Structure 1
Amino acid sequence: MPSTPPHILVLDDKLDICLSLEYILSKKGFRVSYAQTIEQGLLEDRNGNPDLVLMDMNYTSDTTSGSDGLALLKKLRERNPDRAIVVMTAWSNTELIVQSMKLGAADFIEKPWQNQRLFQILEQQIKLQNLEKSKQGLAQQLAEQSSTEILWHSPAMKKVMQQVERVSETDASVLILGENGTGKSSLAKYIYNLSPRRDKNLVSVNMGAIPDDLFESEMFGHIKGAFTDAKSDRIGRFSIAHEGTLLLDEIANMSMMQQSKLLRVLESGEYEAVGSSTTQHANVRLICATNAELRTLIEEKIFREDLYYRINTFEVTMPPLRERREDISLLATHFVNLHSKKYNRPAPKIKPSAVSALEGYRWSGNVRELSHVMERAVLLCSSETIDREVLNITPVPSQASNHPLTTLAEAESSLIIKSLEKTDGCTAEAAKILGLSTSALYRRMEKYQIKYG
């Protein structure tokens, strides 16, 4: 779907100036409206909500001092302090320009203008404004992210958090490993919030969702006209995260081509936007996360060993929930309070019988699954307490004594076959049961020569 062209409001008391600007700016792809008086201009601004205002500084009551223009500029800035305003005047008046800039004008241009310079100024201001909107969006996202809590008092998590707190204050690259749903993203945000870069952007990227042909554009950006669909400049993730933190999630799902391009940037610290010959410098703190066994993927020639050593200056593994059962009650209470607030309901108490059921469950989906179970319990609970019936989960009894000792490879192969049988060959569901990504399951099926269906 094509993006809406930027809306420019032209304010000038001369009709021929307004019409001339409307013509040349429309030809450049802008949407243009204009007004000839201060009153009309304020009304057009209120109704049209323009992206940028291009305004004259001299109106009929005073053709030289710019006092009308300064008053109008002040009102426009009070209405929308984030919107760019470019001032223009037929008088080369340095003092007036200085006053305008002090009141918040983004730039200025003198009449008669040069089209090339006019276009350059307007396009630059629109681009800067779009970037600022992106940053505001990221700031809002960050405000939401900062509320993410990591709750624990288990020995397994104590060890992890002690390590993390030491490394958070540095710029060292961090690799977070762990099963699906263990809270790898939450740990990444925790590291970010403790880091010296916490006042800058945290940019998260799902690396498994980027196709090869869009990888460079997504990560490094592109310039207008770089390829057929490049209708405007695009800022890449490295640029948005400049001086901040870049979180690359699902990094094991990158193709070999993507891995080589990422490695080049990490080794050289430099990159170019697609279609540009200007070299930019990467200045980010890198955090990567995956549920895959990267060392196995390296042996299988699926993941580059040199990239692995670039991203794992510090490596930490989030333990599965079954290895931190001491935290289950604490986390369950947290999720009950969180989801009760979400649905505007009073938070019910969790009965001891329900706590026992939670602690006896296997939690193949880990913390994420626990959150979903407690959300469902909040919705189904009809009293002030949550009992084990509302949870609708069945503790899994230990069956270790029924199985003879076997090799890890045989055990893994057997589990994969059983999961596929249980899901009638649906690899996505089988992967979910096993706590793997679908691509990781396919790799193991190929490794053990398992064919199903």
Structure 2
Amino acid sequence: MNKVLIVDDQLDVRMSASIALSNHGFSCVEADSPLQAMQIVTTDKIDLILLDMNYSSDTTSGQEGLTFLQQLQSKNINVPVVVMTAWASIDIAVQAMQLNAVDFIEKPWKNTRLVAIVKQQISSAQLHRENARYTALSKPSTSQDYLVQSPVMLELLAKAKRAAPTDANILLTGENGTGKSLLANYIHQHSNRADNRFVSVNMGAIPESLFESELFGHKKGAFTDAKENRLGRFDIASDGTLFLDEIGTLGANLQSKILRVLESGEYEVVGSSQTEKTNARIISATNANLEQMIASEGFRRDLLFRLNTIELHIPPLRERPEDITLLAEHLLAKHATKYHRGEMTLSSAAHAAILQHPWVGNVRELSHSIERAVIMSEHNVLDVNVLSLNNHSENTSQSWPLMTLDESEKRTLIAAIKHFQGNVIEAGDYLGMSKSAIYRRLEKFAIDPKNLEL
């Protein structure tokens, strides 16, 4: 159900709009001021804002409404806004449109026109998002450097280069944060498909109910919310590379659907009986031990055979110290540029501490540590204290009691959330989980981040 935020300081106007829209299936939220509206739109998912331009402090100029539109722009809040005013001012309408308002309606309105405008603008916004998503997915990937100097990684890249032109399916294994997606892109760039698309999909972030629509696409009207035709990832990646990240998170039913495509290259778009063909090259990745999952009947062996024609394992960062300094200096330059800090360097003590740290989160943890240091440091030479390594270094030799995989995962989630002071998104990023994936696990284990002792 689409949600509309109605912003007006007159209760009768809000009630009138709310009743008219609710009768046509919209969920309505009300605010009596731009300040209250901004609080709502930053915490709730709003599909459209119906915004009055004049309030008690200024009933003619529309300045309060214009200021609200400017604030939406500055905060990068992309919600369509339909402005309304009792004053038939073309100037206000023009100014509002210049600040990205999508339409204009005068009060008093006819309910049929109000409903028609809201429906049209929500539909247009959804179509725009879908087009933007397709454009982003369709762009050929840009070449990325893979910075390594350790013998083990140089050998790995040599193997990847040899495998790249073959079109063989490749399985990448390794801990979270080791750079599996970067290696997948590297392989694509050295393949015969480099001029075509590299499409990445996080398998652990797709709800089972949307799996076929996301991977195979759907036809308009195939189900309740299928308002437009949608291309699936296999179609978008045709002639290019499809990267299936977190492949080990798939349930048994979804594994069988992927297996069929890998065996025959055939699939059906949801809502269509016509069989489609894909020639996308498949690269997959996992941090799970798939052999152990096969032994416990959590993963199909025939699917593994289809995925790992060539298997490449990325060793953890702690096992290749030659790469740590190289990566640290690269990341320092990258984050210093991002935050406009000028040239920054690491002190000799910071260098030593970085080499001694276990980097349980691998390159991702290293990047986060340096990024925080760049932001918080008052100086251009980063010392060991600003890296805060002692606060979250882990004793990797610690003996853990025997427990189930679910209990182990639950403990790891709780530890990560505590480590990042309750920031679920940052904890998920550290663990290699998407936003939707970590929230699904929080629900699974009934973990409430607000009730954890940080």
Is 1:274 the equivalent of 2:270? Answer: yes
Contact persistence 2:177–2:430 (CA under 8 A): no
Contact persistence 2:358–2:396 (CA under 8 A): no
2:136 aligned residue: 137
Unaligned runs of 5+ in 1: 4-128, 404-409, 446-453
1:350 aligned residue: 346
Contact persistence 1:365–1:435 (CA under 8 A): yes
Alpha-carbon distance in 2 for matches of 1:131, 1:278: 23
What aligned pairs does 1:7-406 form with structure 2 within 5 A after superposition?
136-138=135-137, 142-143=141-142, 146=143, 148-394=144-390
Contact persistence 1:364–1:435 (CA under 8 A): no
> Once the 2 structures are TM-superposed, how far is the Cα of residue 390 of structure 1 from its aligned partner?
1.5
Residue identity opposite 1:142 in structure 2: S
Alpha-carbon distance in 2 for matches of 1:378, 1:180: 23
Alpha-carbon distance in 1 for matches of 2:408, 2:292: 21
**What's the Cα RMSD here?**
3.7
Distance 1:418 1:433, change over 3 A: farther
> Once the 2 structures are TM-superposed, how far is the Cα of residue 386 of structure 1 from its aligned partner?
1.1
User: Which of 282-291 and 219-228 deviates more?
Assistant: 219-228
Distance 1:417 1:358, change over 3 A: farther
Unaligned runs of 5+ in 2: 4-127, 420-426, 446-454
TM-score w.r.t. length of structure 2: 0.60
Alpha-carbon distance in 2 for matches of 1:423, 1:134: 33
Distance 1:433 1:231, change over 3 A: closer
2:402 aligned residue: 413
Residue identity opposite 1:336 in structure 2: L
> Once the 2 structures are TM-superposed, how far is the Cα of residue 338 of structure 1 from its aligned partner?
0.6
Question: What is the aligned-residue identity percentage?
Answer: 45
Contact persistence 2:341–2:380 (CA under 8 A): no
Count of aligned residue pairs for this structure pair: 307
Alpha-carbon distance in 1 for matches of 2:406, 2:270: 45
Alpha-carbon distance in 2 for matches of 1:333, 1:413: 39
Alpha-carbon distance in 2 for matches of 1:325, 1:201: 34
Alpha-carbon distance in 2 for matches of 1:434, 1:181: 7
Contact persistence 2:243–2:282 (CA under 8 A): yes
SS at match of 2:389: coil
Contact persistence 2:138–2:199 (CA under 8 A): no
1:13 aligned residue: none
> Once the 2 structures are TM-superposed, how far is the Cα of residue 381 of structure 1 from its aligned partner?
2.1
Offset from partner CA, 1:47-103 (integer Å, 9 cap, x none): xxxxxxxxxxxxxxxxxxxxxxxxxxxxxxxxxxxxxxxxxxxxxxxxxxxxxxxxx
User: Which of 327-336 and 385-394 deviates more?
Assistant: 385-394
Distance 1:429 1:188, change over 3 A: farther
State which structure, 1 or 2, has the greater radius of gyration over its C-alpha atoms.
Answer: 1
